Chain A
Amino acid sequence: MPELDRSVLTSSPELPRSRAREILSNQQFLLFVVLIALMTYFYTRNHYFFTVGEFQNIFTDFSGYALLAVGEMFVIVAGGIDLSVGSTVAVSGVLGAWVMNGMMNGHWNQFWVLVVGTIICGIVGAIVGLFNALMITKAKLVPFVATLVTLSAGLGFALLFAQFFNSGQPVGNDPAAAVFSSKAIWVFTYPSIFIIAIVVIAGIVLHLTRYGRYTYAIGSNSFAARAAGINVQRHVGSIYVLSGFLAGLTGMFYFMQLGSGAPTSGDGFELTAIAAVVIGGASLTGGRGRMSGTVLGVFVLTVVTFGLVFINVPPAWTQIVVGGFIALAAALQSLRPSGRKSA
C-alpha cells in the first residue's frame, strides 16, 4: 500500500485573525478595562466612592446577584436558560422566614436559626429547581417555557404563602439577622464572604472537574455528549437543581438583609443574572464562556447600578446603560471567530 502523504491533515490553514480581533475577542480583558474606567469615573465625580463603606455596599449588592448568575452560568453553558431564579428567591425567602420565625418563637439560639434557615432556603430552591428539571427532562418542555411556568407560578406561591403566614406582609421579623449580615471584615460582609467562597468553588467545578466538562459538552453538542456515554438528561436535570439551590441561598441572603422574607424580593433578578452571564461573554447557544467572565459581568452591573445612584443619576438611566452593555456584549460575540458553521 502506498504511503499516503498526510500533510493535508497536518498543515492547517491558520485562521485569519487580526490583532485587533484578538483583543476584542478577549471579553474578560475588555470588561476589566470597562470596570476600571467606570470606577475611575465615579471616583472623579465623587471622591467618597473609594471608601471601605461604599465597597462593602458594592460587594453586598454583588453578593445578591452572584449566586444567581453562577447558577445561570451552568444552565446557559449547558445550552439552557433559567427564568425562574427571581421567583425562587422569593418563595424560598418566604418559606425560610416562616420556619425561622417559628424557631425564634421557640427561643432557639440565633446562630442555629440562621443555619437551619440557610438549609431550608437551599432545599426549597432545590425543589423548585427539581420542578424545572422534571418539566425539561421528563415532560420535554423547552427550558424557556418550563422555567417561565416556574417564574410565574413561583411568584404566585410566594405571594400566597405571605398572604397565609402574615396577611401579605413580609414574613418574620429578625433584626438580629440584619445586624449579623452587616458585620464585615474589611470590605466583605459575612454573607459576602460565604457567597464569594461558593462562587470560587463553582468556578473550580465548572472548569476543572468532570461535572463542568460534561456541562460544556452538552451545551456544545448534546448528541455528541450522549453518544460519548454521558447521561445527558440526568446531568441537565442536576444543573437546574443546582441553579434552584443557589437561588434558594440567595433567598436566605435577602432574608438576612431585610430581616424578613418578602415575596417581592427577587423580582426581575433573572434578567440581571442572564445579563451578567451574557456580558461576561458566555454564549446563549451553550458550550462557551468562562466563570471569571460571569463574575466580572456581575461586578460591572453592580458597579454601574451602584455608581450611577451614587453620583445622583436618575435610576431610569441605569436600565438604559445596562441595556447598552448587553448590546455591546452581543456585538462582540458576533465578532468572535466561530467555527460552528464552516464544514
Chain B
Amino acid sequence: MSEREAVLEVKSISKNYGSVQALTEVSFKAYAGEVIGLVGDNGAGKSTLIKALSGVHQPDSGEIFLDGERHNWKSPQEAIDSGIETLYQDSGLAPDLTIGSNVFLGREIMKKGLLGKLGFLDQKSMEAEALEDLAKVGISVPMSRRTVSQLSGGQRQAVAIGRAISWARKVILLDEPTNHLGARQAQEVLSVIEEAKKRGLCVIFISHTLPHVLQVTDRIVVMRLGQVVKDAPTSEFTAESLLASITGLSELQG
C-alpha cells in the first residue's frame, strides 16, 4: 500500500425505504485533513447517506470502513464511540438546555466521588469547559447559563458545529451547516471548517450553496437519485460544471 489509507471508506452501500431506493451502491473514500463536499439535488440521498454514516439508520447492504476497520453501527452512540461526529440539519441541539448542557449532552461531566456515581452532574465544569472548547475552535458565545433557545440562529449553529468539532476524533459530518445563515455568519462557519481540517479531521460537508462548497472543499462527491455520479477534486469543477453534474445536464449535452 503506497497510497495513504483512507480514514473513511464507503463500499457500495444501498438502502431502501419501502419501494424507494434511497441509496444504490454508493462508494467513496475520504482522507484525514480533507474536506469533502457532498452535493446533490433534493432526494439525491445525501441525508440518507449521512444517517448511515452516523449510525441513525443501517444500510441494507454494503460496508463502511473507518481506518481500515469494518464497522456496522447499530446506533448513533456506536458511531460516536468510533470517532464520528455529526451536525444534523437544523436539529442538532436541545433548545431548552444551556450551551454547556448541549455541548456535553451524552457525555456529561459527573461530580467527583460518590455523588458522581449516583448520577450527579457537575454543571459548573460543563459550562466552563464548553466555553473553553468552543473558544479553541474559534467560537465565542456569550457567557452565562443561557439556553440555546435564547441564542440567535448563527450562534446556535456555531455552538452545534463547535460541539461536533471539539468531540470529533476522526470524521465530522456537517449537514447543511450554512443553511439559514447570513453571508457573514456563513463565512465564519466556513472558517471553522478550515479549523477542523487543520486539526487533521476529515470533514464531510453537505450543502446546497455551491459557492460555499467550491470555496472550502478539496474534493466534491456529486450524488443523483441515490448514486454517486461524480467524484473529483474541487479544482476540476467550475460553478457551471458543478451545477450541470448535479442536475444531470452534463450528460444530456454529451
Give chain A's interface residues, CB within 8 Å of chain B. 1, 4, 6, 8-10, 12-13, 15, 205, 208-211, 213, 216-217, 219-221, 223-231, 287-288, 337-340, 342-343
Contacts and interface: CB of A to CB of B under 8 A. Distances in A.
A285 to B, nearest CB: 10
Contacts of A221: 91, 93-95
B191 A225 contact: no
Interface in B134-170: 138-142, 147-155, 158
B66 interface: no
B154 A288 contact: no
A8 B105 CA distance: 25
Contacts of A13: 152
A231 B77 contact: yes
11 contacts: A10-B141, A208-B120, A221-B94, A223-B91, A224-B88, A224-B91, A225-B106, A228-B106, A230-B105, A337-B150, A342-B153
Closest 5 A/B residue pairs (Cβ): A339-B149, A228-B106, A229-B77, A287-B96, A220-B94
B225 interface: no
B120 A224 contact: no
A336 to B, nearest CB: 11
B218 interface: no
A220 B98 CA distance: 11
Contacts of A216: 94, 96-97
Q: Interface centre among A9, A12, A339, by most B CB within 10 Å?
A: A9
Q: Interface centre among A209, A219, A226, A337, by most B CB within 10 Å?
A: A209
Interface in B89-147: 91-97, 101-102, 105-108, 110, 118-121, 138-142, 147
Nearest to A339: B149
A338 B54 contact: no
Contacts of A1: 191, 194
Interface residues of B, number: 50
Contacts of B47: none
Interface stretch (B12-20, B30-38, B182-190, B245-253): B182-190
B199 interface: no
A9 B185 contact: yes
A205 B115 CA distance: 12
B71 interface: no
B140 A6 contact: yes
Contacts of B95: 220-221, 287, 339-340
Contacts of B92: 224, 227
Contact of A220 (B96, B138, B153): B96
Contact of A12 (B76, B93, B118, B151): B151
A40 B87 CA distance: 54
Nearest to A224: B94
Contacts of B75: 229, 231
Contact of A211 (B56, B119, B182): B119
Contacts of A287: 94-97
Contacts of B178: none
Q: Interface centre among A8, A227, A288, A339, by most B CB within 10 Å?
A: A227
A339 to B, nearest CB: 3
Contacts of B93: 221, 224
Contact of B76 (A15, A229, A339, A342): A229
A220 B147 CA distance: 11
A208 B108 CA distance: 12
Given A224-B91, A340-B95, 15 more contacts: A12-B152, A13-B152, A208-B120, A210-B119, A210-B121, A211-B119, A216-B94, A217-B97, A223-B91, A224-B88, A224-B94, A224-B102, A226-B76, A228-B107, A340-B149
Contact of B188 (A6, A12, A230): A6
B105 A225 contact: yes
Contacts of B138: 4, 6
A338 B187 CA distance: 28
